[in-house]
Amino acid sequence: MKIKKIINSIFIVASIATLVIQQSCNSNKIPKVAIIQDKPQEWADALKLGFTDGLAEQGYEIGKDVNVVPRSGAGDPATFSTIAQNFAKGDYAIIYTLGTQSTQEVFNLTKDKNILFGAVTDPVQAGFYKDNLQTPLANISGTQDLWPYPAQLDLIQQLFPNIKKIGILYNSSEVNSQISVDFISKECSKRNIELIKKTVAQESEVLQVTAALLSEGVELVFIPADNTAQTSASSIIAECDKKNIPVFTGISGIVESGALATVGTNYYELGKVNAKQAVVILFKGKQAKQVPVSIADKGDIYINMKVANKLGVKVPDAVTKKAFKIYN
């Protein structure tokens, strides 16, 4: 009788061990997606949320069908670099890079892993493609967030028909920033609007440079697709508020926080587009380089009516009717 109990106990233990091993093996077979961003920013967080929600909408459960490992450098270059190196060496089916800087960091470490970028302003100028979006220089694809600059300047002129001088500040070391500024410069030139440009090297310089812009009589300050300026948006807005100067941008979250308005990319929806690309790579047998880049070249109108009222800006009914979101 005792021997039978011992045998049964051994059988139960063996069965449990086998089940644990099987579960472990199954867990190891679940594809892993690494997500990297250099610092917390509203647009990047929206991309990330859109990505995970997009996977769920397609029927893929996080933790069951795919594992997602998000990491942020928290604005520290050394931490950011270490995260990128660990991801490049790890067993990740995809490295999802948020923005140009994150993509450059990973791109410089690996050309073979599937790199899926979210919201890169110009993938060709950034060096990820040779001549056009059909010639990848690594196993790479993603979404391009080319801001709708003509529509943005149209909105500015609808709100300020007589505007003559716009100020802009940016970090010239960011590829995405220079591209954004070039587009804004061209649009201002077409409309006979003078664009006053000033550069910063780090966030600590933003307040001083903003004050310098305001001293040159700019009628509006534009925050471009620049990580340094966007991270310091609250400081820029606070400085402009002192002189009742409106702030314009391309990020809806910055409008919610105190900028006047924008025609901005919906980064949450762009993240869902990245999720569709990821599914093709994870479950359809495609390599990233075989997936076409998706371009977000349209935008939604966002208006902060509380700011408009404070500044005495009359927002035409034609604008409010088209607005995707109005903050009161």
**Looking at the chain, how many residues does it have?**
328
CATH superfamily, domain 32-145+267-295, is: Response regulator (3.40.50.2300)
Inter-residue contact 31 to 217 (CB < 8 Å): no
What is the per-residue pLDDT for 12?
Answer: 40
Judging by beta carbons within 10 Å of its beta carbon (0-12, 13-18, 19+), is residue 239 exposed, middle or buried?
buried
Question: 3-class DSSP state for residue 327?
Answer: strand
pLDDT band at residue 151 under the 50/70/90 scheme: very high
Higher pLDDT, 5 or 178: 178
Using alpha carbons, list the distances in angstroms from residue 118 to 25, 102, 143, 148, 278. 31, 9, 5, 17, 11
Using alpha carbons, list the distances in angstroms from residue 153 to 179, 245, 295. 16, 17, 20
User: How much is the pTM?
Assistant: 0.77
CA distance 259 to 245: 10
CATH superfamily, domain 149-264+300-327, is: Response regulator (3.40.50.2300)
CA angle at residue 69 from 251 to 85, to 5 degrees? 90
* pLDDT at residue 4 is higher than 80: no
What is the per-residue pLDDT for 296?
Answer: 81
Inter-residue contact 144 to 296 (CB < 8 Å): yes
CA distance 263 to 51: 22
Give the rounded distance of the alpha carbon of 164 from its chain centre: 31
Parts of the chain belonging to CATH 3.40.50.2300: 32-145+267-295, 149-264+300-327
